[in-house]
Amino acid sequence: MFKTLTRSMLTAMACGGAVAGGAIGLSLVFGAPSGIWPAIAGGTLAAALLGGLAATIIMRSTAAFHTRLESTHTAEAVAAAPRWLRPTARTLVGCLDRLGAREEAWRTRERDLEIRTRVAEAGREQAEAVLAVMNEAVLVVNPFNELVMANDAAGTLLGFDASNTQGQSLATLVNDSTLRRIISETLEGACTSTRQAELMLDATEHSDAVACEVMVGCIRDGKGRPSAAVAVLHDLTREREIAQMKSEFVSKASHELRTPLSSMRACVEMLVDGEADDTATREEFYSIIQSETERLSRLVDNMLNISRIEAGIIEIDRAAVDLRTIIEQAMRAIEPQARERGQTLHVEAAPVDLHVNGDHDMLQQVVVNLLSNAVKYTPEGGRISVIADSDNLARCVHVAVQDTGLGIPPDDVERIFEKFYRVENYKRVAKGTGLGLNLCRHIVETVHGGQIGLESTLGMGSRFWFTVPMGTVEAAKAAA
């Protein structure tokens, strides 16, 4: 660029010389007295020729200097230039050198800045990618209380569109004044360590009111001044739910354990105090103690099995299991109780293959639990049926236990598979733990990947059903 500039300047100088020569000639022509025209014309012509010659020399010299300047080292170009052009050429070359050095410095700086920009952009993209996969809501705020970065979790929790908020004021995005205050105080340097607090965020368009824990830290620049505040919000809803579920479980389990224990203790106390002086009363007490012990051990077994399944540590003995055999065995087990209550038992198993890949004992426990409930909650003389069929389209075996019993009130249907849930009015009808159906659901859904459900009409009876995927029965058969 600077060489082009030099060429233009030198060319302009040469042309200037030529024009000056011409101008001298013309002034001589027009300025001379009329008697001496030939002489003046000759002089003018000579002056014009001399001016033109001088211009040509200057142009050639500068052009040659320029060509040399372009192709050789500048010092050599100066040395090769005509003597009269050298001082100007030297000055020009000096300017050129200085300009060239500055241009080089600018270029280096430009490159440096470009590299820094790219590194910063890559860093930002990485940070955004990390924030995007985080469950916790994260906000990064600059010292002007403007949002620099926020992930989707933050947008959902605080009710804004995280993809479109960069540079917006925190006051317009975040309603919660406590959160804004903590961030502002952090940016003002009021606190040096990470701040931690619990907040109750108001409900937004996208979420209900949420309890959350917030941690706000400060990022400082090289001089120790706050350059950004990072706020991480952890939603406490799930943890609170789990804590509540745990305490409910403990209180329900203690209640269920206390009932048989109290009854056993009362019997034992009366026996010890000698209040049961006749054999019949003593036998009655023994029988109560025996049945309460069995209830207690069923309760503990069910609790253990459910917690093992929930923790994923139950041992599953998978094999090709024939549900027809399981139904027959369960029917035989339940038959004495049904007979005692004058109930009739029926099996309607379709003449198809009812094999599934599953755990024999667990699936048998499901059928026995459902049959036992049917017997307990069906009045005397009722009818209990087990219906089994396979669904080749859905690749599963379908089993239903149907009774003509009390049925289940619509309000209780939703919650009937929950732990310890029992229909209040039926507590007088039969003893129970409220864990049997919950265990059935875990065995069917968690262990076997099937489904369990219920249809019931109050006063008309219930139909509990479950499905077990055929899965890879062939593989199970082969493994057996």
CA distance 328 to 324: 6
**Which residue sits closest to ligand ADP, CB atoms considered?**
432
Q: Is 42 buried (19+), middle (13-18) or exposed (0-12) by CB count in 10 A?
A: exposed
**Do 365 and 436 meet the contact criterion of CB atoms below 8 Å apart?**
no
- Give 103's contacts (C-beta < 8 A, 6+ positions apart): 1, 2
Looking from the CA of 216 toward its CB, the CA atoms found within 13 Å total 27
Min separation Cβ 433 and ligand ADP, Å: 4
Min separation Cβ 267 and ligand ADP, Å: 22
Strands 396-403 and 461-469: antiparallel
Min separation Cβ 422 and ligand ADP, Å: 3
The secondary structure element, H or E, covering residue 315 is none
Q: Which is nearer to ligand ADP, 14 or 440 (CB)?
A: 440
Task: Give me the residues paired with residue 212 across strands.
Answer: 199, 235
Q: Which is nearer to ligand ADP, 152 or 455 (CB)?
A: 455
Min separation Cβ 256 and ligand ADP, Å: 10
Q: Which is nearer to ligand ADP, 296 or 406 (CB)?
A: 406
CA distance 359 to 363: 6
148 phi and psi angles, rounded to 5 deg: -100, -40
Q: Which is nearer to ligand ADP, 78 or 374 (CB)?
A: 374
Min separation Cβ 452 and ligand ADP, Å: 12
Q: Which is nearer to ligand ADP, 318 or 376 (CB)?
A: 376
**What SS3 class is residue 18?**
helix
Q: Which is nearer to ligand ADP, 91 or 262 (CB)?
A: 262
Using CB under 6 A, list all residues that contact ligand ADP: 369, 373-374, 377, 403, 405-406, 408, 416, 421-423, 426, 432-438, 462
Min separation Cβ 434 and ligand ADP, Å: 5
Residue whose structure tokens are 């198809």: 352
Q: Which is nearer to ligand ADP, 101 or 458 (CB)?
A: 458
- What interhelical angle do 2-31 and 37-71 show, nearest 10? 180
Neighbours of 276 (CB within 10 A): 17
Q: Which is nearer to ligand ADP, 44 or 456 (CB)?
A: 456
Min separation Cβ 241 and ligand ADP, Å: 22
Strands 147-150 and 137-141: antiparallel
Q: Which is nearer to ligand ADP, 155 or 405 (CB)?
A: 405
For residue 413 the two structure tokens come to 């249907």
Amino acid at 77: A
Q: Is 283 buried (19+), middle (13-18) or exposed (0-12) by CB count in 10 A?
A: exposed
Q: Which is nearer to ligand ADP, 72 or 425 (CB)?
A: 425
Q: Which is nearer to ligand ADP, 162 or 443 (CB)?
A: 443
- Give 32's contacts (C-beta < 8 A, 6+ positions apart): 40
Min separation Cβ 416 and ligand ADP, Å: 5
Question: In angstroms, what is the C-alpha Rg of the chain?
Answer: 49
**Do 183 and 231 meet the contact criterion of CB atoms below 8 Å apart?**
yes
Q: Could you give the residue ranges of the DSSP H alpha helices within 168-278?
A: 170-173, 177-187, 237-272
Nearest C-alpha neighbor of 213 from the set 198, 203, 223, 202 = 198
**What SS3 class is residue 161?**
coil
